[in-house]
Structure 1
Amino acid sequence: MITRRATLAGAAALPAAVSFGARAADTPGVTATEIKIGNTMPYSGPASSYSSVGKADAAFFQWLNEQGGVAGRKINFISLDDGYSPPRTVEQTRRLVEQDQVAFVFDALGTPTNSAVQRYLNQRRVPQLFVNTGADKWADPEHFPWTIGFLPSYRTEAQIYAKHMLRENPNARLAVLYQNDDFGKDYPAGVRDVLGRDWDKRVVRAITYEVTDPTIDSQVADLHASGADTLLVAAVPKFAAQAIRKVHDLGWKPLFFMTNVSISVGSVLRPAGPENAVGMISGQFCKDAADPAWDDDAGMRQFKAFMAKYLSSADITDGLYVWGYAVSYLLWKVLERCNGGFSRENVMRQATNLKNLELPVLLPGVTVNTSPTDYHTIRAMQLARWDGRSWVRFGEVIEGVAT
């Protein structure tokens, strides 16, 4: 059963006290016929573009249930709208855990929203599994052993951009625009890791925006006036599209880096005007359904067949559907490895012991690797440049280690 409520229609790893011998029968949300999974997603609000991830999750579990589920159990996926509002996330997460009695929370989206419930879930020993954000804080098994992320680290991503900037122009003058929360702050932190004492010399302006702001036009104009020749933007899709349009309208031609969470053709580039983003650089870890280079790829054909059957009215160029498919596929593989033992402890054990796991829509050379002491699920990406029609990858797949 798939339930999507509200606005959606249609050691260092685990505490020594935790017993891996707990039976599934003792686990809330697990019965002989069902595994109940909770999720929060911004189906409304300023980050509602990301709701495509939740829709893909729900469709994937529909497919999985039609195949018989996992170990004879169907997935009951309960996805609630939090509007990208941390207080609402707290309310909805408590409902999932205390009323709906889910086995675990999976693929909840957003850095500020997940931050609001991280301590609560860890105190209750409820897995906060494959959080859909790249904040570095999700890889802290010593303090938060029940939380593991999914996306590549934002901080590592920013390090990759800073290094490329210096290769292209050792005398670059960088401007940074970032969201004023843990998501955004990882980007200047990553740049600082690379620049060190040269931060003041290379970064001419670094300013923030609030997710409640109506536009970021004034911030972009401010950065343009700084004289910067390089720009890094860490923004959610709504504001990423605004930034692209404003940079173009100003006639500004910086070396332009955009966070990889806001490079979807359907949700960012098309609203911004594809021609306005030509030359923009980002990092990729998934294949792009809008890129004809993958037309004959087996994994992409599998994804497109899935979309045609379960989300036929969706915009397949929206790369967020690929992300949802990838992380749901990953959870399926983790649940298979549980061998019918779906205690919360065993689910975390399997999720944190993955080696070179391939997913159909990850780029070649990008695999899933976790260990009890390293919760960085995906550590590699490849730079790509937008040419007006598709993302053109260049260079090698780069594996980074977050600081």
Structure 2
Amino acid sequence: MFTPRLRPAVALPAAAIAAMLAAAGCSTADNAATTTNESPAAASGGFKADTAACDDPAAATKKIEGTWKVGYSAPLSGPVAGVVTYALDGYKARIAAENAAGGVNGVKIDVSFKDDAYTPDKAKANATQFLQSDKVDSLITFGSGPVGAIADDQNAACVPLLYPSSSVQQYRDISQFPWTIQYLPAGDAEARYDVSVILKRFPDGAKVGIAENQTASGKGYSNAFQSAAKGSKLQITSIAPTTDPNTTATTLKAAGVDVVYIAGITNDCGPVVQAMARVGFTPKMVLNPSNCADGTAYVAAGQAADGGVLPSYLKDPSDPALANDEGVRKYLSQVTTDDRNNTITVAGWVQADLTINTLKQAVASPSGLTHASVIEAARNMTYASPMLINGIKWVSTPTELVGFDAFQTLVWSAADKRFKPDGDLITITGK
């Protein structure tokens, strides 16, 4: 059950804060405290990998020393390549910093990249090569379609798929995909948040139009939103594909909707908003998915993007209020590219940071660093990464991948050219 519950952005229980600080030896500003099971494999009631079902059970439990090999199937070309560059800048910077500091207990992380052009078939081919020829220790990819193409093979091989940019509920089923850990918030949980945010502004109900990207990611967001809206006072009166933003805008305008929900991928939101401005359509509210956080797209949309709403869980390194935040300072010391203030770059950094924390937890287990101990660590982890908004944690349990346990509602300010917080955190309390 997802229960929207308001709480102050820094309102963690005192006992929890004390425990986190004791474990990490840092201040509350660092936000890098970690609460984990001491031993994933031995934890009472913890997740235990079933290596007997693996294609090669011995490989799943073989101790890794020297180098942990990551295979990254990424859209280095194609429709989202430009935005993905930001994510990769953050990802590479965090990995490079960890390696420069000696690695994870002396184990260096070696990442190999292969282009999939954001197409499932190419992602599947890449995964086959990574698994069979390159013998990687873990995988990562970008998009729900590629995750779907990879998931069966990597689960059969018992090679962890760690923190890919995907949110489809199907691959969160631990019984079916125990070796897959997605990064983006659960589609159904985010959809319930979206509905609650709309109803807060329109308590008597509203007409909603969906701008739907035709990829697996877009349809996943759309389907989850439609399901969450059932039985509420929201009426979904139009669903318009985003293939041609001008046609999308014209369709939504003709439907006379009050709210536009953009069920899109990273580079959809700005163009759709610009198109609505071109046809003279200004809905009362525009709600974007959490993955649609590329600030450059909103800047390009100009005044038309003003007031757009976005759920977030990541710190904004350009926020003056966070100038002395230890997590932000750590991030800025590692990421030196021109796009370092972009939320997508931050997301890539956090994906790498989650991976590193998972490896650290696995190293500390009785089994040492193995494929099995890593997936056990990933299934038994509560972690406040330094670039998560203070008060938000990553939570994964043996029975549920919660992921980010809260959202901060943000509203785009065209004048300031950035998102600004609106209200308190909204906590996600499970399924």
Could you state the TM-score of these two structures normalised by the residue count of structure 2?
0.81
1:296 counterpart = 2:324: yes
1:50 counterpart = 2:84: yes
By how many angstroms is 1:12 displaced?
7.5
What amino acid sits opposite 1:304 in the alignment?
Answer: L
What amino acid sits opposite 2:339 in the alignment?
Answer: D
Equivalent position of 1:202 in the other structure: 235
CA distance in 2, matches of 1:246, 1:65: 45
CA contact (8 A) 1:163 1:194 kept: no
CA contact (8 A) 1:18 1:345 kept: no
Specify which of 286, 301, 306 is matched with residue 256 of structure 1. Answer: 286
CA distance in 1, matches of 2:98, 2:51: 34
1:366 counterpart = 2:392: yes
Q: Secondary structure of the equivalent of 2:105?
A: coil
What amino acid sits opposite 1:366 in the alignment?
Answer: I
Higher alpha-carbon deviation: 364-373 or 375-384: 375-384
1:271 counterpart = 2:300: yes
Change (3 A) 1:173 1:96: same
What amino acid sits opposite 1:63 in the alignment?
Answer: A
CA contact (8 A) 2:94 2:335 kept: no
By how many angstroms is 1:395 displaced?
2.1
Specify which of 166, 170, 173 is matched with residue 207 of structure 2. Answer: 173
By how many angstroms is 1:192 displaced?
3.3
CA contact (8 A) 1:354 1:368 kept: yes
CA distance in 1, matches of 2:90, 2:422: 28
1:400 counterpart = 2:428: yes
Equivalent position of 1:7 in the other structure: none
Q: Secondary structure of the equivalent of 2:71?
A: strand
CA distance in 2, matches of 1:235, 1:132: 13
Equivalent position of 2:52 in the other structure: 17
1:129 counterpart = 2:178: no
Equivalent position of 1:323 in the other structure: 347
By how many angstroms is 1:250 displaced?
2.4
Specify which of 308, 333, 353 is matched with residue 305 of structure 1. Answer: 333
By how many angstroms is 1:207 displaced?
2.6
Change (3 A) 1:126 1:25: closer
User: Counterparts of 1:84-99 in structure 2 under 5 Å?
Assistant: 84-99=118-133
Specify which of 239, 245, 259 is matched with residue 268 of structure 2. Answer: 239
CA distance in 1, matches of 2:402, 2:84: 22
Q: Secondary structure of the equivalent of 2:162?
A: strand
CA distance in 2, matches of 1:89, 1:77: 16
1:189 counterpart = 2:223: yes
What amino acid sits opposite 1:173 in the alignment?
Answer: K
Identity %: 22
By how many angstroms is 1:241 displaced?
1.8
CA contact (8 A) 2:61 2:371 kept: no
Q: Secondary structure of the equivalent of 2:333?
A: helix
CA contact (8 A) 2:222 2:263 kept: no
CA distance in 1, matches of 2:430, 2:251: 30
CA contact (8 A) 2:199 2:205 kept: yes
CA distance in 1, matches of 2:71, 2:103: 17
CA distance in 2, matches of 1:178, 1:25: 40
Higher alpha-carbon deviation: 190-199 or 149-158: 190-199
What amino acid sits opposite 2:52 in the alignment?
Answer: A
By how many angstroms is 1:326 displaced?
1.0
Equivalent position of 1:353 in the other structure: 380
What amino acid sits opposite 2:286 in the alignment?
Answer: F
Task: Tell me which of the two structures has the higher relative contact order, counting C-alpha pairs closer than 8 angstroms and 6 or more residues apart.
Answer: 2
What is the CA deviation profile of residues 138-166 of structure 1, one whole-angstrom value per residue up to 9, with x for unaligned ones? 31101111111112123222221212212
What is the CA deviation profile of residues 169-209 of structure 1, one whole-angstrom value per residue up to 9, with x for unaligned ones? 2231110112224322333333334432458x711101334
1:142 counterpart = 2:175: yes
Change (3 A) 1:137 1:292: farther
CA distance in 2, matches of 1:138, 1:85: 18
Equivalent position of 1:284 in the other structure: 312
CA distance in 1, matches of 2:213, 2:49: 32
CA distance in 1, matches of 2:236, 2:265: 22
By how many angstroms is 1:38 displaced?
1.0
CA distance in 2, matches of 1:246, 1:317: 26
Change (3 A) 1:322 1:34: same
Question: Unaligned 5+ residue runs, structure 1?
Answer: 1-10
CA distance in 2, matches of 1:94, 1:84: 16
Equivalent position of 1:6 in the other structure: none
What amino acid sits opposite 1:34 in the alignment?
Answer: T
By how many angstroms is 1:236 displaced?
2.0
CA distance in 1, matches of 2:135, 2:230: 47
CA distance in 2, matches of 1:13, 1:203: 43
Give me the CA root mean square deviation. Answer: 2.3
Equivalent position of 2:259 in the other structure: 230
CA distance in 1, matches of 2:276, 2:139: 39
What is the CA deviation profile of residues 100-128 of structure 1, one whole-angstrom value per residue up to 9, with x for unaligned ones? 1101113x111111111111111111111
Specify which of 340, 352, 358 is matched with residue 334 of structure 1. Answer: 358
By how many angstroms is 1:26 displaced?
6.0
By how many angstroms is 1:39 displaced?
1.0
CA distance in 2, matches of 1:18, 1:123: 8
Equivalent position of 1:5 in the other structure: none
CA distance in 2, matches of 1:121, 1:16: 13
By how many angstroms is 1:99 displaced?
1.2
Q: Secondary structure of the equivalent of 1:338?
A: helix
Q: Secondary structure of the equivalent of 1:237?
A: coil
CA contact (8 A) 2:183 2:351 kept: yes
User: Counterparts of 1:207-222 in structure 2 under 5 Å?
Assistant: 207-209=240-242, 213=243, 215-222=244-251
By how many angstroms is 1:378 displaced?
1.6
1:387 counterpart = 2:413: yes
By how many angstroms is 1:279 displaced?
0.7
